[in-house]
Amino acid sequence: MTSSQRRYRSVLILAGTSFLLVLFPPLTLTSNNFAQGNSQDSLTPFQLEIYKQQRRLSAPEIDERRDAVSRLGSLHNPAASRAALVALADVAPIVRATAVVAVLSLPAAESAAALIPLLSDKDEFVRGEAAYALGKTRSPSAVAPLIERLVQDKKHGVRGAAAVALGEIGDEAAVVSLAQILRPELNTASNAKQQQKKKKSKENVLVLRAAAHSLGQIGSRAGLPALLAALQDDKSEDDIRREAALALGMIGDPAALPALNALSSASDPYLSGAAYEASRKISNRQMSRP
């Protein structure tokens, strides 16, 4: 564990401890208090449940800590999510991965700030879950860290998760990076070295599909060249071409109609169907305009 990770873990532990003082200011919550029964009677059932699960976060058994985090998340309340923050620094990857979902009831900026460090977690699964969770926050502060994972992470699952999250956030700042993942040959000359590296190892299909779909979700015309190139590449997997067609339909630019209409007789019926639906969506949008 690096010094920065130790500091981050200490902050989370302090935040979890401070949470009790904020939530229960009139009380001193100790096992002795509960043995006496007086403090327990002073708590609402909701407060008591949070306190109960937070105490379980220090249990020696991984499964118990994981269950406690899951129960806090199921409360769907900012107070419960704040109590789960300490679990983001748990020694067990499965507990950390569970915690990234449990903290999502916090305000977007707060949950994003807590989750972003997990994008650098040593465990692939934790990084991927953190990426997915950041997409649900819709926080602009997560865009740059997610782009970094999309471009630099060595694991397909993490890069795919980052691509999905960027689409959910919908920030146009991600378009260039997503387009370069989808069609690296469209990169500028300044990215020549990166292009050569991409040619040596074929990009994962799921990452490419996620990149195409996210470009459609973002809806920027800047994504058209990459999507059209993917759509018209008959050497590419049909799954990718279908996703590109659907994305073009989401963007709704009439410039995509010729390429979409050309696939009306594609050998893959699912591809021709996707192209038809996208074309119809664009045409309907044009007719609805005044």
Domain of residue 64, residue span? 1-106
212 is a domain residue: no
SS3 282: helix
69 is a domain residue: yes
Which residues lie closer than 8 Å to 212 by C-beta, 6 or more apart? Answer: 182, 227, 230, 240, 243, 244, 246, 247
221 is a domain residue: no
Q: How far is Cα 35 from Cα 273, in angstroms, rounded to an integer?
A: 66
Q: How far is Cα 69 from Cα 92, in angstroms, rounded to an integer?
A: 12
198 is a domain residue: no
- CB count within 10 Å of CB 251 equals 22
Q: How far is Cα 127 from Cα 20, in angstroms, rounded to an integer?
A: 28
pTM of the model: 0.82
Q: How far is Cα 115 from Cα 131, in angstroms, rounded to an integer?
A: 8
Number of domains in the chain: 1
Q: Are the C-beta atoms of 96 and 89 separated by less than 8 Å?
A: yes
Q: Are the C-beta atoms of 272 and 266 separated by less than 8 Å?
A: yes
125 phi/psi in degrees, rounded to 5: -65, -40
256 is a domain residue: no
3 is a domain residue: yes
* Two tokens, residue 262: 């050309």
1 is a domain residue: yes
Please report, in tens digits, the pLDDT of each residue of the chain (290 residues total).
Answer: 555 555 555 545 455 544 444 444 433 343 334 434 445 568 899 999 999 999 999 999 999 999 999 999 999 999 999 999 999 999 999 999 999 999 999 999 999 999 999 999 999 999 999 999 999 999 999 999 999 999 999 999 999 999 999 999 999 999 999 999 999 988 754 454 554 454 445 789 999 999 999 999 999 999 999 999 999 999 999 999 999 999 999 999 999 999 999 998 888 999 999 999 999 999 988 877 76
